[in-house]
Structure 1
Amino acid sequence: MSADPRRSLPRTDVILGDARLRAATGRLGTAVVKNAVVTALAEARSGALPIDGIADRAHDLLPALATEMRAVINATGVVLHTNLGRAPLSAAAVEAMVAAAGYVDVEFDLADGSRARRGRGVLSALRAAVPGAEQALAVNNGAAALLLAVTTLASGREVVISRGEMVEIGDNFRLPDLMTVTGAVIREVGTTNRTSLSDYARAVGPETGCVVKIHPSNFLITGFTSSVGVAELATLGVPVIADVGSGLLLPDQLLPDEPDVAGSLGAGADVVTCSGDKLLGGPQTGLIFGRADLVERMRAHPLARALRCDKLTLAALEATLRGPRTPTSESLHADPQRLRQRCDLLAAALGAQVVPSQGTVGGGGAPGVPLPGWAVALDSALAAALRTGPTPVVGRVSGGHLLLDLRCVPPADDERLRDAVLLALGPPAAQRIP
């Protein structure tokens, strides 16, 4: 009777001595590599794996990075896809983050060796981007910017806001809940569909801390409607906070109905808040622009410390503001003819068809604004295989087809996308990869 070869399984430390696994330990950590080895040994013990394949299998089980998050190809046509991380960073922003990962002068003056204002480069870049702002401030997200602004100006006092702007922005996050946390009393005026300046005027009084104007960016109300603009609100004699949401700093002809920071300040808003990871195309941040005295009060508020950005975010934000055109801007303004050409090449390699596709801004921005383009239509049954493949691809399922819209796919990734689809299709399609 022959001996069971599984009894001669090598020890864990012997497998860990493989050169590839030793190198991976320095990149991923001992625990991750050891877990892969233990899994491979278990497969060999069950007979599902030959003994001489244990090291190879352990290596194959290792993740690419020491994080569970995986880079994906966004072929949905949604530029600011919240579930996929919203704005992809520019190469300049990524490079800046890598540089900031070590020791940096984030709060240090190299010239005289003293402490310096945190993120002073970002503040300078923000003011340069919006010259009409006397001062600016960055915090860790858009909700935090509004939270800090309302807390500073109206904690223990009243906030006047239109009922039509008491919005929910997703994941059960509701604006009234945020403003209640500030310690302010919400004073709603008008109705869901119509609010007039007289409604605000009757509500404003000695207890008013501020008026808040919210751009309802993730929905549309049409028909018998009316609202009050910033310029009219500025006549009420109390501070006006305008939250423009999507972070458009200057007007964009593609998005004529999307309010911008510069325009809101020019119309008379005392403070403007927005997100930095939407139309600006930067990292997750909340931006505050406005009157110097009010912004300085916010900077000095104890809450500002809890909401401040880390050094990586500051570096990426500054590089976004000072650097080249962002991937977000490239995707929004993509040439439909060029998109068609790229889709034709991909479709030819896959034996598929090209169909019209309507992209969207996403991230709660510019609802109803179409982004005409093109997509490659595949069998919808491929969606799961593409999402879970070695190179995850997320497309859009519509009308029984999986649509791969190239609007948000960098041209440099076209071959990776093609190869991922061919692999998902399986032989003999995968054999066509050159």
Structure 2
Amino acid sequence: MVNNEINEKQRKHLKLLPGVDHILEKAKTNSLFNDIPKPVVIKSVRSVIAKRRESILGNNKIFSDSDLTDASILFDVEKLVQEDMQSNLKRVINATGVVVHTNLGRSLLAKAALENMAKIAGGYSNLEFDLLNGRRGSRYSLVEDILCEISGAESAMVVNNNAGAVFLSLDTVAPQKEVIVSRGELVEIGGSFRIPDVMEKSGAILKEVGTTNRTHLKDYKNALSENTGLLLKVHTSNYSVVGFTAAVSLEQMVELGNKHRLPVMEDLGSGTFVDFSKYNMTKEPTIQESVASGADIITFSGDKLLGGPQAGIIIGNKIIIDRIKQNPLARALRIDKLTLAALEITLRLYREPEKAVKAIPTLRMLTIPLSDIKNRAEKLAKLLSDIEEPDFNKSGLSVNVANMSSRAGGGALPLLDLPSKAVRISIAGMSVNSIEKAMRRNDPPIIGRIEEDLFVLDLRTIHNEELAFIVSAIKQIIKN
């Protein structure tokens, strides 16, 4: 008897369920769909009707007749269409306090770099055309002069990322040759990419020396052979070994390399043109210092502490850099015009380091005074505390400003704790995981942290113009 009753309801609901063509005709009268590509509308209509049919047949939902009306179905179609038309790559608000956040796009570009990208993207350019001589040119030349100027290097080129820069350099300089590197410098970067793996793919032969915590100059000397092709130093930018340690300086390696006529390469990883110790931060080797040491090849990223677009920068000895430029793999690893447009302007800002610190968002966030962060945190806390919503009991929202530690991120300055201020939020009757999920699904998404069962917004990485979005998101959560 029960099964017959259910089957009868199923038959009734299936009969009431409108067809795809019928809903498409109804959609034509809705102005919302006027600018939506027809395939998107068709896909959404089919999906909504298919899900209703599946639920009816599977008894997954108790339907009323109103759930099967044209208006009800079109409402769900509208939501699906809006989701489909949104870009998969979205701008998010980084409230984590991690400045160079790898998962959130790493460095933010300076305003001048963005403007130059838009200008180049909207027209033709001299990407590979020599305007002076009227013949084919090289895209490397567009940033080579400025790189050499601010670093002191003889020559330079740029590829798509630093892993590519390391790979291309090894493939050019030491194919089937031994590359001597300290065991303590065999780093792994994000995505499980490891220096030994990159080296193997390049055709170079890894020769480890020393131990994890201590490597001496004699270790390099004892490892030299007729098949040695390169001495490699890898800056451990994403971790630090402390305690009973010893390492060979780049200057010592260069001296050893010169004595045995061997090139020396340093992979800085997250390279910087700024001496952060001037801002009461951990000392990082600067690119200029590496060049001054006499290293033949230096590689580093463009989108970490440099504060530019994703790029792998190679600078150093002109004879060797010219060889790297001629490697056929360079074409596979080359960067596009938009990257060059952003990188050139970012590099030009470094002509005046003090201005660069203010103009380049990554540097500005790393060096911002704590008092400025505190003011911004107190402003956000007040805006949240002043929220007025009908039927909302203010005692349900708890907001307070607390001390917090930010991070540089991006595999840089691993031991550095940056004093910061955060706004901590809790909502009565709502779990912190639910708050995090709602903020993450906001438009724009707001990515924060969970600590001590509270949702935490670190103001170091939140800009003034983003405060309104946060307040709006909390209002929406309270309404729902």
Structure 1 length-normalised TM: 0.89
1:432 aligned partner = none
Comparing 211-220 and 107-116, the one that deviates more: 107-116
CA distance in 2, matches of 1:418, 1:259: 41
Structure 1 residue 356: Cα displacement: 0.3
Comparing 140-149 and 242-251, the one that deviates more: 242-251
**Paired AA for residue 70 in structure 2:** I
Q: Per the alignment, do residues 266 and 157 of structure 1 end up closer, same or farther by CA in structure 2, a change over 3 Å counting? A: same
Q: Per the alignment, do residues 7 and 215 of structure 1 end up closer, same or farther by CA in structure 2, a change over 3 Å counting? A: closer
Match of 2:467 among 407, 411, 414: 414
Question: Quick check: 1:218 aligned with 2:274?
Answer: no
1:116 aligned partner = 137
Structure 1 residue 249: Cα displacement: 2.3
4+ long deviations beyond 6 Å:
43-46
**Paired AA for residue 444 in structure 2:** T
Match of 1:330 among 352, 355, 364: 364
Q: Map 1:256-335; keep pairs closer than 5 Å.
A: 256-323=282-349, 325-335=359-369
Q: Per the alignment, do residues 389 and 42 of structure 1 end up closer, same or farther by CA in structure 2, a change over 3 Å counting? A: farther
Structure 1 residue 35: Cα displacement: 2.9
Question: Does structure 2 conserve the Cα–Cα contact (< 8 Å) formed by 1:121 and 1:318?
Answer: yes
Question: Does structure 1 conserve the Cα–Cα contact (< 8 Å) formed by 2:402 and 2:423?
Answer: yes
Q: Tell me the percent identity.
A: 39
Structure 1 residue 92: Cα displacement: 2.6
CA distance in 1, matches of 2:453, 2:289: 43
Comparing 92-101 and 305-314, the one that deviates more: 92-101
Question: Does structure 2 conserve the Cα–Cα contact (< 8 Å) formed by 1:97 and 1:316?
Answer: yes
**Paired AA for residue 127 in structure 2:** V
Match of 1:35 among 30, 37, 43: 43
For the pair shown, the structure with the greater C-alpha radius of gyration is 2
SS for the counterpart of 1:171 is helix
CA distance in 1, matches of 2:25, 2:145: 54
Question: Does structure 1 conserve the Cα–Cα contact (< 8 Å) formed by 2:93 and 2:444?
Answer: yes
Q: Could you list the per-position Cα deviations for residues 298-327 of structure 1 after superposition, in whole angstroms to 9, with x for gaps in the alignment?
A: 111111111111222111212222356221
Q: Map 1:100-115; keep pairs closer than 5 Å.
A: 100-102=120-122, 103-110=124-131, 113-115=134-136
Structure 1 residue 175: Cα displacement: 1.0
Comparing 82-91 and 145-154, the one that deviates more: 82-91
Q: Per the alignment, do residues 269 and 111 of structure 1 end up closer, same or farther by CA in structure 2, a change over 3 Å counting? A: closer
Question: Does structure 1 conserve the Cα–Cα contact (< 8 Å) formed by 2:17 and 2:68?
Answer: no
Question: Quick check: 1:23 aligned with 2:22?
Answer: no
Q: Per the alignment, do residues 125 and 10 of structure 1 end up closer, same or farther by CA in structure 2, a change over 3 Å counting? A: farther
1:431 aligned partner = none
Comparing 271-280 and 320-329, the one that deviates more: 320-329
CA distance in 2, matches of 1:49, 1:89: 49
1:173 aligned partner = 193
SS for the counterpart of 1:48 is helix
Comparing 58-67 and 168-177, the one that deviates more: 58-67
2:270 aligned partner = 246
Q: Map 1:50-69; keep pairs closer than 5 Å.
A: 50-52=69-71, 58-61=77-80, 62-63=82-83, 67-69=87-89
Question: Does structure 2 conserve the Cα–Cα contact (< 8 Å) formed by 1:44 and 1:51?
Answer: no
Comparing 5-14 and 229-238, the one that deviates more: 5-14
Q: Per the alignment, do residues 350 and 273 of structure 1 end up closer, same or farther by CA in structure 2, a change over 3 Å counting? A: same
Structure 1 residue 69: Cα displacement: 2.1
Comparing 4-13 and 253-262, the one that deviates more: 4-13
Q: Could you list the per-position Cα deviations for residues 194-244 of structure 1 after superposition, in whole angstroms to 9, with x for gaps in the alignment?
A: 111111112223322111100111112111100011111011122111111
Q: Per the alignment, do residues 198 and 246 of structure 1 end up closer, same or farther by CA in structure 2, a change over 3 Å counting? A: same
Q: Per the alignment, do residues 36 and 97 of structure 1 end up closer, same or farther by CA in structure 2, a change over 3 Å counting? A: farther
**Paired AA for residue 455 in structure 2:** L
Structure 1 residue 56: Cα displacement: 6.0
CA RMSD of aligned residues (A): 2.6
Structure 1 residue 392: Cα displacement: 0.9
CA distance in 2, matches of 1:282, 1:64: 31
2:388 aligned partner = none
Q: Could you list the per-position Cα deviations for residues 72-128 of structure 1 after superposition, in whole angstroms to 9, with x for gaps in the alignment?
A: 110000001111111122233333333333433211245654322115322233223
Question: Does structure 2 conserve the Cα–Cα contact (< 8 Å) formed by 1:354 and 1:376?
Answer: yes
Structure 1 residue 49: Cα displacement: 6.8
Structure 1 residue 411: Cα displacement: 1.4
**Paired AA for residue 384 in structure 1:** K
Structure 1 residue 417: Cα displacement: 1.7
**Paired AA for residue 377 in structure 1:** R
Comparing 47-56 and 311-320, the one that deviates more: 47-56
Structure 2 length-normalised TM: 0.81
Q: Could you list the per-position Cα deviations for residues 139-162 of structure 1 after superposition, in whole angstroms to 9, with x for gaps in the alignment?
A: 111111111111111111110100
Q: Per the alignment, do residues 308 and 368 of structure 1 end up closer, same or farther by CA in structure 2, a change over 3 Å counting? A: same
**Paired AA for residue 12 in structure 1:** L
CA distance in 2, matches of 1:235, 1:164: 21
CA distance in 2, matches of 1:295, 1:214: 19
Question: Does structure 2 conserve the Cα–Cα contact (< 8 Å) formed by 1:283 and 1:316?
Answer: yes
Structure 1 residue 70: Cα displacement: 2.1
1:430 aligned partner = none
**Paired AA for residue 48 in structure 1:** D
Structure 1 residue 44: Cα displacement: 8.5
Question: Quick check: 1:147 aligned with 2:167?
Answer: yes
CA distance in 1, matches of 2:344, 2:91: 23
Question: Quick check: 1:354 aligned with 2:401?
Answer: yes
Question: Does structure 2 conserve the Cα–Cα contact (< 8 Å) formed by 1:108 and 1:115?
Answer: yes
Question: Quick check: 1:363 aligned with 2:416?
Answer: no
**Paired AA for residue 467 in structure 2:** D
Structure ranking higher in helix proportion: 2
Match of 2:102 among 69, 82, 88: 82
Q: Which runs of 5+ in 1 are unaligned?
A: 428-434
CA distance in 1, matches of 2:21, 2:36: 22
